[in-house]
Chains A and B, each alone.
Chain A
Amino acid sequence: MYRYDTLDKEFLADRALEFRQQVARRLAGEITEDQFKPIRLMNGLYLQLHAYMLRIAIPYGTLTSTKLRKLAYIARTYDKGYGHFTTRTNLQLHWIKLKDAPEILDHLAEVEMHSMQTSGNVIRNITADPYAGATADELDDPRVWSEAIRQWSTLHPEFSFLPRKFKIAVTAAAKDRAATRIYDIGLAMRRGRDGELGFEVMVGGGLGRTPYLAATIREFLPTRHLLSYLEAILRVYNRHGRRDNIWKARIKVLVASLGAEEFARQVEEEWGKSDHSRVDLPDHELARIRASFAGTFETLPAASETLEARKAADPAFARFLRRNVHPHKAPGYAIVDISLKEPGETPGDITSEQMEVVADLGQRYSQDEIRVNYQQNLLLPHVKLEDLPAVYDALAAARLATPNIDLVSDIIACPGLDYCALANARAIPVAQQIAERFADPALAEEVGELRVKISGCINACGHHHVGNIGILGVDKKGEEFYQVTLGGSGEGDAALGQMLGPALPAAKVAEAVEQIVGVYLRERKDDERFLDTYRRTGVAPFKEAVYAEAH
């Protein structure tokens, strides 16, 4: 875990003071709302339907128990005792008062946290593989590079007024758990012929109104040149990205209009002219960052008798192991997924009490590390097998042991019209209705891997374009309607979903999902996932089932 040194801490203190003075100027009427709005957004503070919303950055989704306890404290003291994890692995608090915001930033700074660059047309919080440092299939720890990018992008003088927001995701593993193709830049580590490590650089992904999957502009970039190459990409974008139309300002539009090849040529040309040594981190700095992420693991037997005994005796525990527990690189350890998707609850929401339970478990059983992933769930990356029963019991007591990871009830949903000023329709109640239909864990497991993703408007914060079942809220003359897409995927086999048919009224959506699942169960062969069956059969049988009555 990266720890701030004096320099990082002084930087944050300067930032918190700057914001305190800016808020005072606004409250005193020295600056107008028009002037203040970009300033508060640069600090992650939005005005939503009911109050201000603060978006707190969780760089590459990594938390310690101290940080999580502080978040619990802030949510309890300044909000209504809960928070919402987002697909960018940030935490959003929905009931914040402007006059409290400076104090909250001071609290965050105490634990090396902030809300900078969680909004605005800047390089946003970096996301990374949530299994970093814990999975056997990675070439390197992606957090080393994510931290390097975090520092380089912090108040970057050239790139703080980009045409539009800019999101970067990093993975160093074979399996893409960071959805690298749907971001402005996706970085996936590869090993070169001579054994050297480098990144495949993907540019121009993004969801929103016109979704694109990123194109590879360089197959192999030696890792040591990461920052200078990013600087070249950002420079080409900053100069040539469109600024006349907010809907065409993302880098995806520039890459699509130039073509990936021409865009790559311009980046290479710019990179060729720049002095890399001024931008790329020197070895000693990389080594310093790397040292902070080095984990040490005990030598343990690969199996645990305590665990096996409990597994044999307790089917609910066995199911939790099947769904929520994943192999770790070190024998005798496991990665534990904590679902924030208990059927009936708001996806991604967590109470202060639950945060404290997870913080305690992380401290006691997971080397003081807690992760957030883009599925709006948490995980404990380094749990000993023999501790799993205790961890499970504590989670279950806090209603955090729902065994539904990647299942139909593990739904991604944005805040929608219950909170968001931009929404067309609600997303949360739709998620709740669907999850309740599959609340029986045996049924959900029988259905298997199926990712449902819901957004309350075309901005696609809920990733609906890449949901196996995607649901988009639209406004039809003031009524909530929902457009359903099928076959999207955000990971290794990334694809955008295809439209099922005309938008459905709110009351029909959960039923439609049930019908779609029914078709899948009828059509599936062997152990096909929903996505495999869909890709084989196409949209027709699903369409028929959902729109049958309308014929």
Chain B
Amino acid sequence: MPKLIKLHQGQASLANDRFTQVADEEPLPGGDVIISLTRFQAEGDRLLSEGRAVGVRVEAGEEIEGLVYDLPRVAVVALAFPKFRDGRHYTNARLLRERFDYRGEVRAVGDVLREQAMFMVRCGFDAFEPADDSGPDEWLAATRRFTHVYQRAADTREPAFVARAE
């Protein structure tokens, strides 16, 4: 079971994961699940009608637009990093937050390292399954390493050009 760090109101803490992540070839267990986009498109309606919470796992190569219509019904969008160098999900996270106004959990899974923490938080991720040994303290420290930022993103941080004018 990977550890799950959640960020809430500027605090990071270890969280119990109430979701079971299910691979496509595995049978579905009961309870809340995170499933692939393909499986969600086939079985999502039924699972939701059973009253359970459903999360969707999106691969780096998948178009996030495929999920837009269902977003209000999705509890978690898990963006999967095949390699930490693959940066596509930074765009996806921003689109979820800024363009599609998604308010649920955006979780980083896969090759997730603390070196990416600040970028992820700025792009709108709020839950993380780090693949390295970092815990909530290291994770939070990494997100706070820089006092200033130079551009707007999906977070509420004030960019330099605004801070300077005050």
Taking a contact as CB atoms closer than 8 A, the residue among B99, B149, B150, B153 that contacts A158 in the complex is: B153
* Chain A 122-175 residues near chain B, CB threshold 8 A: 151-152, 154-163
Taking a contact as CB atoms closer than 8 A, the residue among B87, B148, B153, B161 that contacts A161 in the complex is: B87
Taking a contact as CB atoms closer than 8 A, the residue among B84, B91, B116 that contacts A238 in the complex is: B91
Cα–Cα, bound, A154→B84 (Å)? 19
Residue with the greatest number of chain B CB neighbours at <10 A, chosen from A158, A160, A279: A158
Q: Are B152 and A278 in contact (CB under 8 A)?
A: yes
Q: Are A162 and B115 in contact (CB under 8 A)?
A: no
Q: Are A155 and B150 in contact (CB under 8 A)?
A: yes
Q: Are A161 and B84 in contact (CB under 8 A)?
A: yes
Cα–Cα, bound, A451→B125 (Å)? 50
The reply on A308 being an interface residue by CB < 8 A is no
Known: A5-B164, A157-B122, A158-B153. A11 touches B90 (CB 8 A): no
- Smallest beta-carbon distance B12→chain A, Å: 17
- The chain A residue with its CB closest to the CB of B123 is A157
Residues of chain B within 8 A (CB-CB) of A17 are 145
Taking a contact as CB atoms closer than 8 A, the residue among B86, B115, B163 that contacts A243 in the complex is: B86
Which of A202-210, A280-288, A412-420, A467-475 forms part of the interface with chain B?
A280-288
Cα–Cα, bound, A272→B91 (Å)? 16
- Smallest beta-carbon distance A279→chain B, Å: 7
Taking a contact as CB atoms closer than 8 A, the residue among A10, A121, A154 that contacts B147 in the complex is: A10
CB-defined interface of B117-139 with A at 8 Å, one 1/0 digit per residue?
01110110000000010000000
Known: A5-B164, A7-B163, A288-B164. A238 touches B148 (CB 8 A): no
Cα–Cα, bound, A8→B147 (Å)? 10
Q: Are A11 and B146 in contact (CB under 8 A)?
A: yes
The reply on A33 being an interface residue by CB < 8 A is no
Give the top 8 A-B pairs by smallest Cβ distance, nearest first: A161-B87, A157-B122, A285-B161, A157-B119, A158-B90, A151-B150, A14-B146, A278-B152
Residues of chain B within 8 A (CB-CB) of A151 are 150-151, 160-161
* Chain A 366-389 residues near chain B, CB threshold 8 A: none
The reply on B57 being an interface residue by CB < 8 A is no
Q: Are B152 and A161 in contact (CB under 8 A)?
A: no
Residues of chain B within 8 A (CB-CB) of A5 are 164
Cα–Cα, bound, A281→B91 (Å)? 21
Q: Are A285 and B164 in contact (CB under 8 A)?
A: yes
CB-defined interface of A256-299 with B at 8 Å, one 1/0 digit per residue?
00000000000000000100001101101100100000000000
Cα–Cα, bound, A121→B118 (Å)? 17
Residues of chain B within 8 A (CB-CB) of A282 are 161, 165
Q: Are A239 and B88 in contact (CB under 8 A)?
A: yes
Cα–Cα, bound, A350→B152 (Å)? 40
The reply on B53 being an interface residue by CB < 8 A is no
Residues of chain B within 8 A (CB-CB) of A245 are none
- The chain A residue with its CB closest to the CB of B120 is A157
Residues of chain A within 8 A (CB-CB) of B165 are 282, 284-285
Residue with the greatest number of chain A CB neighbours at <10 A, chosen from B84, B87, B118, B165: B87
